[in-house]
Amino acid sequence: MTAAPLGTKTRILDAAEKLFGKNGFEETSLRDITAEAQVNLAAVNYHFQTKESLIDAVILRRLEPLNRKRMEMLDAAGETPSVEQIAEAFLAPLIEVDIPNVAPLVGRVFSNPAQFAVRVFLKELAPVVRRFDQAIAAAVPALTPEERFWRLHFMAGAMTHMLAMWDVLPMMTSLPIHPVDRGAVVRQMVQFVAAGLRAPLVAKPPAELDKERT
């Protein structure tokens, strides 16, 4: 059952990752973490100085390789990837991540406005967004920069919601989706998002179109 004994630092990171994802950053105390990791309370401050820098360490340990994978998948799709390939490169690495506890953690990171959105986004995510934005521009040249901005965030939102709600989704339906097949979700999502990215441009408010019809 127990693998090679992990170092204290790694045990803290693993425990924090699990509890942060499950209960949130602010609602998880260092005491919760050290209890879960079975290490001493003071070890956290010795290895990570403050709670905030522990949070950053927990996030960056996972986010960096995941974003690298996204870039690699997009690169592997060639010069002019289809919207399906773009969507899959953006979504699959995060949805299908096979490390336990990571999906809800990343979901929390991406749905917290002030806390990290700025501090993590600008530093770690901006290049990824720029790269995917360029790919979308090439795949759907009719889109204006504003339209690409919105659609890229619609795609990100659909993904974030899945990551964050992963564990509670089965409770929201009577359908037999326990446990969720992540490959199937990616395929559904790629299909949905690709159609959205290719959607005709907005001309008039839909409300006005409805009025004209009557």
The item of a copy of itself, DNA, none sharing an interface with residue 70, based on CB under 5 to 8 Å by kind, is none
Distance between CA atoms of residues 182 and 187, nearest Å: 9
The item of DNA, a copy of itself, none sharing an interface with residue 3, based on CB under 5 to 8 Å by kind, is none
Between residues 9 and 131, which has the closer beta carbon with respect to DNA? 9
Note if the bond before 93 is cis, omega within 30 degrees: no
Binding status of residue 196 toward a copy of itself by CB under 8 A: yes
Beta-carbon contacts of residue 162 (< 8 Å; ≥ 6 apart): 95, 107, 169, 185, 189
Minimum Å gap between C-beta 24 and DNA is: 11
114 φ/ψ angles, rounded to the nearest 5 degrees: -75, -45
The item of a copy of itself, DNA, none sharing an interface with residue 134, based on CB under 5 to 8 Å by kind, is none
Binding status of residue 17 toward a copy of itself by CB under 8 A: no
Q: Is the dihedral of CA 35, 41, 46, 50 positive or negative?
A: positive
Among 117, 124, 137, 182, binds a copy of itself (CB under 8 A): 117
Beta-carbon contacts of residue 47 (< 8 Å; ≥ 6 apart): 8, 9, 12
Distance between CA atoms of residues 40 and 35, nearest Å: 8
**Cα first-last separation, the chain:** 68
Between residues 47 and 192, which has the closer beta carbon with respect to a copy of itself? 192
The type of residue at 39 is: V
Minimum Å gap between C-beta 40 and DNA is: 3
Stretch that binds a copy of itself, among 1-9, 29-37, 134-142, 194-202 (CB under 8 A): 194-202
The item of a copy of itself, DNA, none sharing an interface with residue 154, based on CB under 5 to 8 Å by kind, is a copy of itself
Stretch that binds a copy of itself, among 4-12, 33-41, 49-57, 117-125 (CB under 8 A): 117-125
Q: Which spans of this chain sit near DNA (rule: CB under 7 A)?
A: 7-9, 28-32, 39-43, 45-47, 49-52
Stretch that binds a copy of itself, among 6-14, 34-42, 59-67, 181-189 (CB under 8 A): 181-189
Residues 27-86 that bind a copy of itself (CB under 8 A): 27, 77, 84-85
Number of H helices, E strands in the chain: 11, 0
41 φ/ψ angles, rounded to the nearest 5 degrees: -55, -45
